[in-house]
Amino acid sequence: MKHYKVDETGEEILKILTKNAKSTPEDIARQLDQPAAKINKYIKKFEKDKIILGYKANINWQRIHQNHVRALIEVKVQPERKVGFDAVAEAIYKFPEVSSVSLLSGGYDLLVQVEGENLREVALFVSEKLAPIHGVQSTVSHFLLKKYKEDGLILVEQPDSKRLPISP
């Protein structure tokens, strides 16, 4: 992967959009004391160059879909000559049930996040689609029971502070 150079202004724009994808070029321009046209030009270039891949709303799905299941699956892989882990990773990430695939160091090679409507659906994915892929040696599945924080955002309701107010 070729390294992409970003100047300080570009990096600040990316940080702002990471925190709030709804930020408009005008909002960002005000924050950075720059012309909106300049900010818009940066954003268009980042989109064209595939630095900005999309815009995302962070949804607390735990509050909406009580039965929705997510699993983290550790996958041990036999790497292929000349392509290493990439061919197996590609075969895995093409499935619609897969929300992310990452190469790891340690006892397992890939970490795969899978989503489904229920435990059975995810288990069938692992046994019928993932495990039979050429190069997959073994899998270990971990079902997510509850998420507390994701993408830097706290997902659980926090109780009001139990500290006593300071009196003068």
- pLDDT by residue (tens digit) across 134-150? 999 999 999 998 888 88
Confidence of residue 58 (pLDDT cuts 50, 70, 90): confident
* Spatial separation of the C-alpha atoms in residues 28 and 40, rounded to whole Å: 9
**pLDDT for position 151:** 81
Torsion of CA 51, 53, 55, 61, to 10 degrees: -130
For 34, 96, 119, the CA distances from 46, given in Å and listed in that order, are 17, 26, 39
Q: In the predicted model, what is the mean pLDDT of the chain?
A: 91
Q: Which domains does the chain have, with CATH numbers?
A: 8-48 (1.10.10), 61-145 (3.30.70.920)
In three-state secondary structure terms, 138 is strand
pLDDT digits (tens, 9 = 90+) for 89-122: 999 999 999 999 999 999 999 999 999 989 999 9
**pLDDT for position 153:** 82
* Spatial separation of the C-alpha atoms in residues 69 and 17, rounded to whole Å: 29
Beta-ladder partners of 138? 76
* pTM for this model (two decimals): 0.75
Note the residue count of the chain.
Answer: 168
* Spatial separation of the C-alpha atoms in residues 92 and 74, rounded to whole Å: 12
DSSP string of 30-47, one letter each residue: HHHT--HHHHHHHHHHHH
DSSP state at residue 98: E
